[in-house]
Amino acid sequence: MSQLKYAFYTGCSAKGVAPELYDSTRLVAEKLGMELIELEAATCCGAGAVQEKDEFLAYTINARNLALAEELGLDLLTICNTCTVMLRDTKFKLDNDPELKAAVNEVLREAGLEYKGTSEVTHFLWEVIDGVGLDKLKSMVVRPLKDFNIAPFYGCHIIRPVYLIGYEDPDNPKSMEMVIEALGGNPKDHEARLACCGFHSFWSAEDEVTLRLTAMDTKAAKEEKADFMVTPCPLCHTQLDAMQEEAEERIGTQIGMPILHLPQMIGLALGMNPKDLGLHKHIVPTDNIIKKITSSK
Amino acid sequence: METFKLRVFRYDPTKDSEPYYKEYTLPVEKGMTVLAALFKVKEEQDPTLSFRYNCRAAICGSCSMRINGHGTLACKEQVTKILEKYNTDTITVEPIGNVKPLKDLIFDFDYLLNKMKKVKPWFIPKEPPPPDGKEYRQSPEDHHKIDFASDCILCASCVSECNAFKANEEYLTPFVFSKAYRYAADSRDGAKRERLEAVLDKLNLEWCVRCWQCTTNCPKEVQPYENIIRLRIMAAEEGFKTPGERHAEIFEEDIRERGLLNEMLLPIRQEGLLGAIKRAPFGIKMLLKGKANIADFFGGHKVKRHEEVVKIYEKAKEKEKEVRIRIPQILGVVYEDKRKTIRRANFLDKGGNE
């Protein structure tokens, strides 16, 4: 049990607009026997924005983030898809390019740090499957999600690109469905299962692209009569939950699709209090889910 | 499994008011490609079926289509592998997504070609030809920068599930950006700014949502997504001021000043006072739900060991001009089910030490 110990990289969102993700991750991890040592000195991963302006700076700050996990001798665990891909991108480039690694380490030396490449970057979803194990998860379920039709929304950066992620087939991933089934829920296939929420072009193409995708995604889940969508990424969550109203306005249709964070869904099945899991902090009301889960037994 | 079903998108605009799907049962043969299966249908069951093809060796790009929801080349995909991958007895074949179907599996490529013309996908020399009468030359290192991008065979697999294009047909599409990059990054080309202006028209280059779908679909490892990012880096270096560039500046400031991004102060910094007013109701909504912290509106807290971050930031900024960042080859990458045994990419620097 004690080997489920990770250097916990929160990312900006869980410390910012998605505090309910931080809280539910903490609660669920503890219940599942995962020990999370928070990297309180870690910085933002650059989210692709810094990478597009100053590539070298992006590799350097992420090398520092990775070095913080190496100091603890632990693998780094993320709860955000974009953090996952950005940290893995830095690791990929540094581990395969000795010249770049030397240049980055020359900078890190200024602060007495070194990037060695000894810690892996992993995501909460993968550790629930490979670390905790689905059999164990199943055995801990006290409130099976049998009355729920659940639409998984993977979010791009936990499946693509293969050369940075490589955990499962990006054309037909199964990890989210596996977790939903272990919790007794009914995974619903839908058009937007592997689609993009639009988050990353918000400031450049809010009307042209972003909100149109948000509307398409949430509508796709509604068409399959899903009770809620679930995502392993806080950026997808903010986009699909907090911006859903704006997306509805643009298309002139009411959608009202609740969006849950992955650990919130697990927590509900493990019998935790919806309020502790932060379900009341969502913009799209989750009342129906709470009603259904607390009346089922 | 001895047989499988080939479910094919059928549409003849001279006869059909709506497209429909027709199923054909075929024997499962080892080594049979989806293209070979289509030939078998055409020869033995239904001569009216229309599809494009030519080389049958993933070189010409003609037989691109959507197979079980993903754009790819029919000559490159084996029937047995597709059945296994989707754990199914049915292979669904449709024309490339997001583009108008013309007849059966044939789609309107001219529509995409007209987009491509906007970036002038041809060489515009910077200088007159070398006086020795030989060709324009470039170093292996310079060639490496455009090597992958010049492998594009215009199959449009990248277009099929492109999220930005799905949302808006005015999007230039990944392969068009790849073409623009291939010429803009060519050491012999003289129209870099013109090409950047073309891709930044209506901010099109920044419509990309970073979903990496195009790179995932591309059968030739052209890396369309990475080429979009390389174009953005190039535009920033050339001094183009865009929302994306401003966004990156805010991230950099926050990393330097506090470590994490301050999401609540992002709107006013991104869009100025007017933007902040426009976004205020949203901010209040977030605040009321407990999704935002009042302290964040006054700057928020700093990460621990913040002094390290400042030192590293300053030194990295100073050093970045002298660092050469190589473009990785990503060929031969496969996924495996077990996380710890992932076969990592084959990273080759073609331009470096040859």
| Structural contact between residues B243 and A203, judged by C-beta atoms closer than 8 angstroms | yes
Residue B142 one-letter amino acid? D
Q: Band the pLDDT of B347: cuts 50, 70, 90.
A: very low
pLDDT at B283: 87
Q: Which of A42-51, A99-108, A146-155, B324-333 has the lowest mean pLDDT?
A: B324-333
Q: Examine the pLDDT at B42 and tell me if it is beyond 50.
A: yes
CA distance B246 to A53: 10
pLDDT at B300: 76
Strand intervals (E) in chain B: 3-10, 20-27, 64-67, 70-73, 90-94, 101-103, 106-107
| Structural contact between residues A1 and A33, judged by C-beta atoms closer than 8 angstroms | yes
Summarised one tens digit per residue, pLDDT across range B141-153 is: 999 999 999 999 9
DSSP B107-118: E-HHHHHHHHHT
* Residue contact A19–B291, C-beta within 8 A: yes
Which residue in chain A is spatially nearest to B263 when comparing CA positions? A16
* Residue contact B225–A161, C-beta within 8 A: yes
Strand intervals (E) in A161-287: 186-187, 228-231, 259-261
Q: Which of A130-134, A150-154, B113-117, B292-296 has the lowest mean pLDDT?
A: B292-296
pLDDT at B247: 94
pLDDT at A297: 57
Nearest to B251 among A49, A56, A120 (CB): A49
Q: Examine the pLDDT at B341 and tell me if it is beyond 70.
A: no
| Structural contact between residues A170 and A160, judged by C-beta atoms closer than 8 angstroms | yes
With a pLDDT cut of 70, the percent of chain A lying above it is 99
What Rg value do the Cα atoms of chain A yield, rounded?
Answer: 19
β-bridge partners, A129: none
Output b/e per residue, A226-252; b: 16+ Cβ within 10 A.
bbbbbbbbbbbbbbbbbbbbbbbeeee
CATH 3.40.718.10, applies to A133-295: no
β-bridge partners, A186: A149
Q: Examine the pLDDT at B350 and tell me if it is beyond 50.
A: no
Q: Band the pLDDT of B332: cuts 50, 70, 90.
A: low
Chain A nearest-CA distance from B160, in A, is 12
Mutate to test the interface with A, among B181, B211, B247, B270 (most CBs of A within 10 A): B211
The domains located in chain B, with CATH, are 3-107 (3.10.20.30), 109-240 (1.10.1060.10), 250-322 (no CATH)
pLDDT at B1: 78
Find all residues with CB under 8 Å of B277, minimum gap 6, and list them: none
Q: Examine the pLDDT at A213 and tell me if it is beyond 70.
A: yes
pLDDT at B205: 97
Q: Band the pLDDT of B336: cuts 50, 70, 90.
A: low
What's the mean pLDDT when you consider all of chain B?
91
Q: Band the pLDDT of B331: cuts 50, 70, 90.
A: low
With a pLDDT cut of 90, the percent of chain B lying above it is 79
Give contacts of A13 with chain B, Cβ < 8 Å. Answer: 263
Given CA atoms A108, A114, A120, A124 in this order, what sign does their dihedral have?
Answer: negative
Chain B nearest-CA distance from A132, in A, is 14
Give the domain ranges of chain A.
5-122, 133-295
Q: Band the pLDDT of B295: cuts 50, 70, 90.
A: confident
Which residue in chain B is spatially nearest to A43 when comparing CA positions? B259
Task: Count residue pairs from A and B with Cβ separation < 8 A.
Answer: 269
CATH 1.10.8.50, applies to A5-122: no
Tokens matching residue B27: 């024997």
How far, rounded to the nearest angstrom, does the alpha carbon of residue B111 sit from its chain's CA centroid?
18
Nearest to A56 among B163, B229, B323 (CB): B323
Q: In what order do the strands lie in the sheet with B64-67?
A: B20-27, B3-10, B90-94, B64-67, B70-73
> Strand B106-107 relative to strand B20-27: parallel, antiparallel, unpaired?
unpaired
Given CA atoms A136, A141, A145, A146 in this order, what sign does their dihedral have?
Answer: positive
* Residue contact B163–A283, C-beta within 8 A: no
Place of tokens 């099929």: B160
Residue among B96, B107, B95, B65 at smallest CA distance from B82: B65
Give contacts of A56 with chain B, Cβ < 8 Å. Answer: 316, 319-320, 323, 325
**What pTM was estimated for this model as a whole?**
0.95
Mutate to test the interface with B, among A52, A61, A86, A122 (most CBs of B within 10 A): A52
With a pLDDT cut of 90, the percent of chain A lying above it is 97
